Structure 1
Amino acid sequence: MPSPRSASRPELSAFLRAMRSRVRPADVGLREFGRRRTPGLRRQEVAELAAVSIDWYIRLEQGRVGVPGAAVLDAVAQALKLSETERHHLHLIARGEAPPGRHVPAPASESLRTMLHSMPMTPAWIVDLRFDILAHNAAAAAFFGPGFGVGKNATLPLFLDPGAREFQLDWSRIAREHVGNLRANLARHPGDPRLLELVTELRRQSGDFAAWWDDQTVQERTNGTKRILHPTGGVVHVRYDVLAVQDGSEQRLSVITPADAQAENALRAIVFAQSGLRAVP
C-alpha cells in the first residue's frame, strides 16, 4: 500500500469530490435554496455535518492535512453517507490502513431482562453506548411516560424536547453528564456510525449540546441524585446508579431509587397508578 502522503492524494481528492457531488442536501436533512452551480453538497455543508472546520475540510480534499485521524475520517464518511465499502476505501487512501473495527450492538441478555422485571417497584432500564434503550421494566415506563421505550434514544429528548427541562429540575447537570458520557464512549468507539450520527444531530439541533461538546466535556458519572417534577407525583428526589455490564457489550443498567420517604411513596403511587392497582399505605 503506498504512503497516503504521496500517490494516494490525487485519488483521495477525486474520491471526496465524487462522493460529495452525489449527496443531495435533502439526503442529510438540509434545505436547498435555489439552484446550485454544481450538484451535491458544498464543502461548507460537509464540514458542518462532520463537525470539522471548513478550512480543514478544504485541505483534506486538497490532500494537505498529513495523515488524518480515524475518528475524523469516520465523521466525514458519515457526513457523505458512505457505505461500509466506501468507508474502508476512504481510510485506505487517506491513511494507508484499514479503518478500526466497528462495535456490533447486542441485545440485552435474558438474565438482565429477568433482573429488570424482578424489580417491579424500581424504575430500571438498559442502554447501549449510544444511549439507545434496549430493555426496561414497567416501573421505568410508568415513571418516564409514553415517550420512553425500547428502540428510543435516552439522550435525544433530553436536549430536543422542551418538556425535558421541566421534568428534570437539575437539567443542566444531568444533560452535561450525558455529553461527557457520549464523548467518553466515542473515544472508545470512534468509528461507530450510530454514535457519530447521534453526536452530529445533537450538535446541529442543540446549542447547549454543541457548546458543551466543543469545550471538551468528558466524564463517566455512575451515580448521583436528582430532582424530578413528575406530572402526577410532584417533585420527587431520587438517586440514580449506572452499572456497567461486564461482558464487553458496552451496555449499562440504570436504576432509580427513592432518596427519601416522600419519594418512596411517590414512586409507589406512580407505578401503581400506571398498572391500575391501588397502592397499600
Structure 2
Amino acid sequence: MDDLAGFLRTRRSRVDPVASGIPNDSRRRVEGLRREEVAHLSGVSVDYYVRLEQGRATRPSGQVLDALARVLGLDETERDHLCRLAQQRRPRAKAPGGRVRPELLRVLDLVTDAPALIMNHRLDVLAGNRLAGLLFGREIPGLNTARHIFLEEAERGLYADWDGCTVDVVGHLRLAAGEYPDDPRLASLIGELSMGSERFRRLWARAEVSARTHGRKAYRHPLVGLLELHQENFALPGDSGMELLVLSAAAGSAAQDALRLLAGLGEDGAGARPHQEHPGRRVPHL
C-alpha cells in the first residue's frame, strides 16, 4: 500500500532547488531535486540513493534517514512515516481489532451536548453517542468516514470544507498504510476509494501524510444549517488503534444553539433517528 521508494520520489519532487542552495537553471526539466542532488546534500553516494528509490537498498541507518528528512524538508509526522517505511523488514504490526469496551460506551453516554465518536485506524466509526447519529443522519456503527466523504458526500453536502476534509482523510490513511501494511481491510478500502473517486486517486498519488489531532470542522446540516465545531482527537490507551473524537461548540455560539435544536428535533422524532450502542451489547468487528 505504501513504500519507501515511492515516498522518497514524491518528497524529492516538491523540494525547491533554489531553497536548497542549488542555482536556478532554466534548462532544468526535473520537478524538484534530482536524485544526485539529494544524494550530495544528504552525504550518501548517488548509487546508494538510486538503490533506495528503486527499492533495492538495505534498510538505511538512522543517520541516513535524518539526513534525508533534513534535505527533503520533512515535518515530524513525515519523518516518522519515513522511518516506519524504512523499517518494514521488522515484524509488522498486526491490525488491531474493532471491539469497544462497554466502559467506553458509557463514556460516550456521558457526552450529551456534543457529537462524540469512537473510530479506528481505517476511519470506521465503531460507536457514537446520540448527537453523533443525529449529525450524520444515520446509524453510526457501519459508517466509514473516508467512504462517506469520497463516495457518498462527493457533491459537498454535509461537509462545509469538503476539499480540506479529503486531504485530511488521505493523509491519515497514508499513515495507517505505513503502520499496518498487511491489513487486508485497509487495502480493500483504499482500492475501493481509488476505483470510485478521481480526487482520491490524485491525492493518494501525492503521498502526503498528516496526523490531525484537533481543529475546526464545519458541517451543513439539512435540519439546523451551518455547524462550526471544534474537533479534538484522543488516542485511547493500549494498542487498539482507536480514537475518541469530540465535536464541541463554543459557549454562546450559534453552533451551540444549533446542536441544542438538533437534539430537540431528535427527541421529537424528527430527522435522523438517534443511535447509541447499548453498553451490554458486543460491538461488531468492522
TM-score (norm 2): 0.60
- Which of 225, 228, 232 is equivalent to 2:219? 228
Residue identity in the other structure for 1:136: G
CA drift at 1:135: 0.8
Partner residue of 1:150?
A: 141
Partner residue of 1:194?
A: 185
- Which of 199, 207, 225 is equivalent to 1:208? 199
**Shift in CA distance, 227/100, structure 1 to aligned 2, threshold 3 Å:** closer
**Shift in CA distance, 168/272, structure 1 to aligned 2, threshold 3 Å:** same
Partner residue of 2:41?
A: none
Partner residue of 1:266?
A: 258
What is the SS of the residue equivalent to 2:230?
A: strand
Partner residue of 1:124?
A: 116
What is the SS of the residue equivalent to 1:196?
A: helix
Root-mean-square deviation over aligned CA pairs? 2.6
Residue identity in the other structure for 1:113: L
Structure 2 segments unaligned to the other structure (5+ residues): 1-54, 60-88, 271-286
Deviations along 1:127-174, one digit per CA (max 9) or x if unpaired, are 11111111111110011102x411221210100114661211111111
| Contact in 1 for aligned 2:121/2:242 (Cα 8 Å) | yes
What is the SS of the residue equivalent to 1:165?
A: coil
What is the SS of the residue equivalent to 2:145?
A: coil
* Structure 1 residue ranges (4+ consecutive) displaced by more than 4 angstroms after TM superposition: 65-69
Q: Distance in 2 between matches of 1:139 and 1:272?
A: 10
Residue identity in the other structure for 1:244: A
What is the SS of the residue equivalent to 1:166?
A: coil
Partner residue of 2:162?
A: 171
Partner residue of 1:76?
A: none
| Contact in 1 for aligned 2:153/2:159 (Cα 8 Å) | no
CA drift at 1:99: 7.4
Q: Distance in 2 between matches of 1:162 and 1:139?
A: 20
Q: Distance in 2 between matches of 1:144 and 1:164?
A: 15
* Count of matched residue pairs: 187
| 2:238 equivalent to 1:252 | no
Residue identity in the other structure for 1:193: P
| Contact in 2 for aligned 1:133/1:153 (Cα 8 Å) | yes
Residue identity in the other structure for 1:207: E
Deviations along 1:10-36, one digit per CA (max 9) or x if unpaired, are xxxxxxxxxxxxxxxxxxxxxxxxxxx
Residue identity in the other structure for 1:223: H
Deviations along 1:84-106, one digit per CA (max 9) or x if unpaired, are xxxxxxxxxxxxx9973532414
Structure 1 segments unaligned to the other structure (5+ residues): 1-64, 70-96
Q: Distance in 2 between matches of 1:68 and 1:211?
A: 30
CA drift at 1:213: 0.8
More moved, 97-106 vs 204-213: 97-106
Q: Distance in 1 between matches of 2:128 and 2:217?
A: 20
| 2:121 equivalent to 1:133 | no
TM-score (norm 1): 0.61
What is the SS of the residue equivalent to 2:113?
A: coil
Deviations along 1:52-91, one digit per CA (max 9) or x if unpaired, are xxxxxxxxxxxxx86999xxxxxxxxxxxxxxxxxxxxxx
| Contact in 1 for aligned 2:149/2:166 (Cα 8 Å) | yes
| Contact in 1 for aligned 2:96/2:241 (Cα 8 Å) | no
Identity %: 28
Q: Distance in 2 between matches of 1:68 and 1:155?
A: 34
Map 1:1-281 → 2, pairs under 5 A = 100=92, 102-146=94-138, 148-162=139-153, 165-259=156-250, 261-276=253-268
Partner residue of 1:35?
A: none
Q: Distance in 2 between matches of 1:144 and 1:257?
A: 15
Q: Distance in 1 between matches of 2:188 and 2:201?
A: 14
Q: Distance in 2 between matches of 1:212 and 1:107?
A: 31
| Contact in 2 for aligned 1:136/1:150 (Cα 8 Å) | yes
**Shift in CA distance, 108/251, structure 1 to aligned 2, threshold 3 Å:** same
